[in-house]
């Protein structure tokens, strides 16, 4: 438990004493947010729910995939 506390304090003290690092971390988080939003809306927009609207279409897709194996 002592090593966990020391590690935690080391990171807390390190983040408290950062000057330029805080700005850089903000930039990193903003870039990560932009990338995740871009991926969500433009890359991963197709899901099982959006591709197959009815229960019959979903069940047919699942059935065909299970029979194909």
What's the maximum distance between 2 C-alpha atoms anywhere in the chain? 60
Reading the block at residue 48, the tokens are 């099982």
Distance CA 45, CA 1 (A): 44
* pTM, 2 dp: 0.50
pLDDT on residue 37: 92
Mean pLDDT of 14-22: 84
The string of pLDDT tens digits covering residues 26-67 is: 999 999 999 999 888 887 777 778 888 899 988 998 898 888
CA angle 44, 65, 67 (to 5 degrees): 175
Mean pLDDT of 5-25: 87
């Amino acid at each position: 438990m002592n090593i966990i506390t020391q590690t935690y304090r080391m990171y807390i003290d390190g983040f408290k004493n950062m000057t330029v690092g805080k700005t850089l971390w903000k930039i990193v988080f903003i870039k990560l947010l932009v990338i995740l939003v871009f991926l969500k809306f433009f890359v991963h927009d197709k899901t099982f729910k959006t591709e197959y609207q009815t229960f019959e279409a979903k069940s047919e897709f699942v059935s065909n995939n299970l029979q194909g194996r």
